[in-house]
Structure 1
């Protein structure tokens, strides 16, 4: 997204999935359209953009709140000093550490390049690469947890295809020659929206320039994508080309113009692509509708925040954590007694994760967190009060839950304090009875 401070041409739960096959090296990696975590498991980014460069004192709490709401990833705004105060190496190290502690995969991006060629203040992709090389000491060793988004919206409108391609192939070459093996993310031209199709038509050439083949392409979907057909056309093109894509920024509107945000989330789920909503909080007054949380308060989501997290294909209903967090936590606690091990006391799901033991974690299927590791919540239906679904859990369904809703094959608790839409009660997402009945 272009600066909070001025107008732009374009700004820039959890269901179980089949695991992908391991890639050749144990970092975040790319194979065809899929992204794989460090354990070789398929991973779809479901997260939020965090405006660290402009609100440095808010980031730690934001990461905690975003993780608590169910996200599995964050894209963090950094500055190389070309337009804003340079984000120091120590700041980046702290961001990575905090995000890892919260179980979040981190996408780091240099924002100063926004709109180069149209914005006179914008820095170059080469300058962004200089920054990555300057701070590479805190990046190396974090390949399981960090994706490098080379440059945010690095061209405005009007660049030639060769300019976009050459700038990115040169950037990739410099990063790889310096020994950075992270998966890389490349933004589209046209302030990220790619309405001219420069990235769509030339992405393969950029991917082929990477000896690792670990490149994710990122489109920013704002007013150009005002219909399901526009969203589907773009995502399906990358899918048919066998290329990995993420919607690196999007919202429900942009300067009052409608954005098909529900279509973005639905189509991303259909094609197995990631998405990252813009942005946590702090947008300027004319863009305040793009805030996900009111005044950086994770307990007070805006209407856009509610849509992003609790819509039918929102974060809370489609995200699952990278297995590197669950498995690493599980292995670190493997020396504990058997009663502290979820896999020992409550059984193991088909994907290798322990079932959750605590009945209070039951959200009707999905993911939980117990004993410092991820666990699988056994799926339950309205008529199933045993709570085990293959696990040795005990206890009846919480009478205060009011039953569950079969939402397109996934069970969610029914809301008690609202009759329609999605809500958040008793520490979990819920669905109103009217909405359930009208699906």
Structure 2
């Protein structure tokens, strides 16, 4: 039993988690820390948190421009496993028709998020005011459980104008009796991180309901994986409710009209790891210069393109049956180390795939064990094999040699499964570790994932361990 301090009230609760070995510390998506003695420290953000976007996987669907096709496509969107549709709409559209679309989404089990596209890229406060007026005038058509994306990509960059205009918008809508979750796009055509990092909490705190989600759009300004991770993790750590409301991918090596080289697979996996939703642009119907962003063929609104397959299956369509779980490109992706003397860090001194790997310094010694691991929920149902690539540094006396094993812990009792001990070396080609998942029960509740490194007999001195390219198939 441990004591839980919350608002000066002492409560008792039972800690059920028992860790066999491996990771001993983690932080959940609301910034609650599980310390090494299993005491939970609850932060203010978790007491009165704004809406979570965790688990949202959606598409943007251009209903305002392709009414019948987009409406019919909702069934197909659902069949491909999406749970959310961002409904592209404008003020010249019928509110009653929008209600029909919203109702159809709900009947299919899709979360509808309507947005107004009229003032995309505008920085005029009067334009935003017009969007707010439309929502107020048509509030009777919008059920209270529908998230309202006030205006697509409105506002200047890193600006108090963005802040104050949205504080006013929130106030007007609340005073009009609209208590829905409000989704607010960042300025700078939706791509500016500074509006959100500098002013989002002020906007959130101005809302008496604290019922706001902020949306970032990721195209050519988000070609750096470290920027993606740093921004999203900072939002989580600060208690800023965030969703990636639009994003593209690395088409033609960035030689496209948006200069977009976004690593979409990294983006989606990072969102999943951090408990953040994501909505891809877009189902189909883009103009010629944006046609590379069509997820399905415009001829039938059903046949997946390369981009559509990437989002649906969350893997490179050209990469066979494996999907990348972690590649440490520019960040540790929340992995931690146990019994290490430094790190782990994301480093570019070695990589099996890409440019970065995870590294930690260790002090060798006979029988010593080191861990690189992450405590986070994963669902590996239907998967057959887990792989990772490891090596150790060339320095330090390895004695009889270092070994490693890939492992997972499953279920509430944290049952350990591993792929067996494998000899590893300092060879820059790395050593592939494999864990066969066949026959393991409870794969829908994997609690921990990691690699155990075993120091050889007679080993001594300082060395380093590396991990890269965790995939599942």
The question of a shared fold, defined as TM-score above 0.5 by the shorter chain, is answered with yes
**Shift of residue 43, structure 1, vs aligned partner:** 4.6
- The higher-RCO structure (CA 8 Å, 6+ apart) is 1
**Shift of residue 268, structure 1, vs aligned partner:** 0.6
Question: Within the alignment, does 1:117 sit opposite 2:115 as a pair?
Answer: no
Structure 1, unaligned stretches of length 5 or more?
1-17, 21-29, 37-41, 81-85, 318-364, 367-377, 384-388, 390-402, 412-434
User: What's 1:48 paired with?
Assistant: 59
Question: Within the alignment, does 1:278 sit opposite 2:281 as a pair?
Answer: yes
Among 210, 214, 227, the residue aligned to 2:211: 214
Question: Within the alignment, does 1:201 sit opposite 2:202 as a pair?
Answer: no
Question: 1:163-182 deviations in whole A, cap 9, x for unaligned?
Answer: 00111011101111111111
Among 311, 316, 338, the residue aligned to 2:314: 311
Partner SS, residue 222 of structure 2? coil
Among 224, 227, 231, the residue aligned to 1:230: 227
Relative to structure 1, the CA distance from residue 438 to residue 110 in structure 2 (aligned partners, 3 Å threshold; closer, same or farther) is: closer
Whether the 8 Å CA contact 1:33–1:239 is kept in 2: the answer is no
User: What's 1:143 paired with?
Assistant: 144
Instruction: Trace 1:363-382 onto structure 2 (pairs within 5 A).
Output: 379=381
Question: 1:22-59 deviations in whole A, cap 9, x for unaligned?
Answer: xxxxxxxx9777635xxxxx852110001111111212
Distance 1:50 1:192 in 2: 17
Among 236, 239, 247, the residue aligned to 2:236: 239
Whether the 8 Å CA contact 2:154–2:185 is kept in 1: the answer is yes
Question: 1:288-345 deviations in whole A, cap 9, x for unaligned?
Answer: 110111116354111111111102599xx9xxxxxxxxxxxxxxxxxxxxxxxxxxxx
**Shift of residue 193, structure 1, vs aligned partner:** 0.3
User: What's 2:76 paired with?
Assistant: 65
User: What's 1:248 paired with?
Assistant: 245
Partner SS, residue 269 of structure 1? helix
User: What's 1:187 paired with?
Assistant: 185
Instruction: Trace 1:9-408 onto structure 2 (pairs within 5 A).
Output: 35=51, 43-80=54-91, 86-117=92-123, 124-139=127-142, 142-144=143-145, 146-156=146-156, 159=157, 161-195=159-193, 197-253=194-250, 255=257, 257-295=260-298, 297-312=300-315, 379=381
Distance 2:197 2:471 in 1: 40
**Shift of residue 96, structure 1, vs aligned partner:** 0.8
Distance 1:237 1:270 in 2: 14
Partner SS, residue 279 of structure 2? strand
Partner SS, residue 192 of structure 1? coil
Higher helix proportion: 1
Distance 1:287 1:380 in 2: 35
Distance 1:45 1:381 in 2: 21
**Shift of residue 126, structure 1, vs aligned partner:** 0.5
**Shift of residue 236, structure 1, vs aligned partner:** 1.3
Higher strand proportion: 2
Partner SS, residue 47 of structure 1? strand
Question: 1:118-175 deviations in whole A, cap 9, x for unaligned?
Answer: 9xxx971100011101211111xx233x10001110125xx56210011101110111
Partner SS, residue 108 of structure 1? strand
Partner SS, residue 286 of structure 1? helix
Bigger CA radius of gyration: 2
Distance 1:436 1:231 in 2: 19
User: What's 2:424 paired with?
Assistant: none
User: What's 2:7 paired with?
Assistant: none
Q: Matched residue pairs, number?
A: 293
Structure 2, unaligned stretches of length 5 or more?
1-27, 31-45, 251-255, 318-322, 324-377, 386-410, 412-435, 445-468
Partner SS, residue 153 of structure 2? coil
Partner SS, residue 294 of structure 1? coil
**Shift of residue 117, structure 1, vs aligned partner:** 3.2
Whether the 8 Å CA contact 1:227–1:263 is kept in 2: the answer is no
Distance 1:94 1:290 in 2: 27
